[in-house]
Amino acid sequence: MYTIKELQSIISEEIAKEIIQLNETDPKNLYEPISYALSMGGKRLRPVMVLLAGNLFSESIENAIPAALAIEVFHNFTLLHDDIMDQAELRRNSLSVYKKYNQNIAILSGDAMSIMAYNYLLRCNSSDHTGMIRLFSQTALEVCEGQQLDMDFESIMDVSIPQYMNMIRLKTAVLLACSLKLGALAVNAPEKSADLLYAFGLNLGIAFQIQDDLLDIFANPDKFGKKIGGDIVSNKKTFLLLKALELSDYRLKTTIQDWITRKECDEAIKIQAITGIYNELNIKSITEGYVNEFYQSALDILEEIELPGEAKNEILQLAGMIMTRDH
């Protein structure tokens, strides 16, 4: 089996090849922004998940490579359009496509990337080709639904924990799950194993997203790439905030809502105040409990897949990378 590092370098080379080709394709104003978006990097965890899943069942991962490219291009399409919607000027310390070029170019390049993802997928030659496209397309639509729910939540005060779980399942988890299953389908893995990998990815994705909310406040500031407390400042409906609202009495709830609706306030004091409430309600350990529960569910599902120990170790290592946000 390939190591994760080897898979990362395989996919990086493949993406580099695509970037070269994109730079030679007309119209330049359509394909250069796509090339730029793909060259911004990242740890390529999703396409590595595709390749790793393929490698679990087949020595040759040749046929999983187009599926890995499809997932990476689709993921970057969502980031590109998200940046327009959020008016985000930076992405991985570079100018976002929307800021570097302009909004119209960003809209159209994103549209093209979404279509290109299908074109990559169409290069795979598995026995269940249509099944792969069907899974991908269903997942892509779910990701749009998750993004819409996330936007909806911005203007809804009383989001329930089940509503939140549904949102992160759609926005984040299904694409991780789909990545694993696509890789398996690309090498004609047994259907049952492919389905179990999907379920594994779904639970892992949910654990990852809740963990991501946790890291906004309780991460080690030296290792964390972003500013601590950013979600608090932007009033993001994180798992922590929603759980705190659920558990707080009238007095605390009023205090939280007061902070959220306040127009102007000192950021540091706001972060301190909300973090104080989280501590009072024991939110950190409650959230960690949820993370562990979903992570454990993922591990239990992994147990059920018939695979040699070495293979499982590779998946566990990747899962660990995802959970420690080493990307």
CB of 274 to a second copy, least distance (A): 26
Q: Which pairs count as long-range contacts for 77-86, CB under 8 Å and 24+ apart, including other chains?
A: 77/110, 77/113, 77/114, 77/117, 78/143, 78/147, 79/37, 80/37, 80/106, 80/109, 80/110, 80/113, 81/106, 81/107, 81/110, 82/147, 84/110, 85/147, 85/151
Give whichever of 104 and 234 is closer to a second copy, judged by the CB atom. 104
Give whichever of 108 and 252 is closer to a second copy, judged by the CB atom. 108
CB of 99 to a second copy, least distance (A): 16
Give whichever of 166 and 317 is closer to a second copy, judged by the CB atom. 166
Give whichever of 130 and 261 is closer to a second copy, judged by the CB atom. 130
CB of 104 to a second copy, least distance (A): 4
Give whichever of 26 and 310 is closer to a second copy, judged by the CB atom. 26
Give whichever of 69 and 291 is closer to a second copy, judged by the CB atom. 69
Give whichever of 129 and 253 is closer to a second copy, judged by the CB atom. 129
CB of 189 to a second copy, least distance (A): 20
Neighbours of 118 (CB within 10 A): 15
Report the interface residues with a second copy, using CB under 8 A: 26-27, 29-30, 81, 84-85, 104-105, 107-108, 110-112, 114-116, 118-119, 122, 129-130, 133-134, 137-138, 140-141, 144-145, 147-149, 151-152
SS (H, E, C) the chain: CCCHHHHHHHHHHHHHHHHHHHHCCCCHHHHHHHHHHHHCCCCCHHHHHHHHHHHHHCCCCHHHHHHHHHHHHHHHHHHHHHHHHHCCCEECCEECHHHHCCHHHHHHHHHHHHHHHHHHHCCCCCCCHHHHHHHHHHHHHHHHHHHHHHHHHCCCCCCCHHHHHHHHHHHHHHHHHHHHHHHHHHCCCCHHHHHHHHHHHHHHHHHHHHHHHHHHHHCCCCCCCCCCCHHHHCCCCCHHHHHHHHHCCHHHHHHHHHHHHCCCCCHHHHHHHHHHHHHHCCHHHHHHHHHHHHHHHHHHHHHHCCCCHHHHHHHHHHHHHHHCCCC
CB of 188 to a second copy, least distance (A): 16
Give whichever of 101 and 259 is closer to a second copy, judged by the CB atom. 101
CB of 292 to a second copy, least distance (A): 30
CB of 247 to a second copy, least distance (A): 26
CB of 110 to a second copy, least distance (A): 8
Give whichever of 112 and 321 is closer to a second copy, judged by the CB atom. 112
CB of 68 to a second copy, least distance (A): 18
Q: CA angle, corner 81, sides to 65 and 152, nearest 5?
A: 120
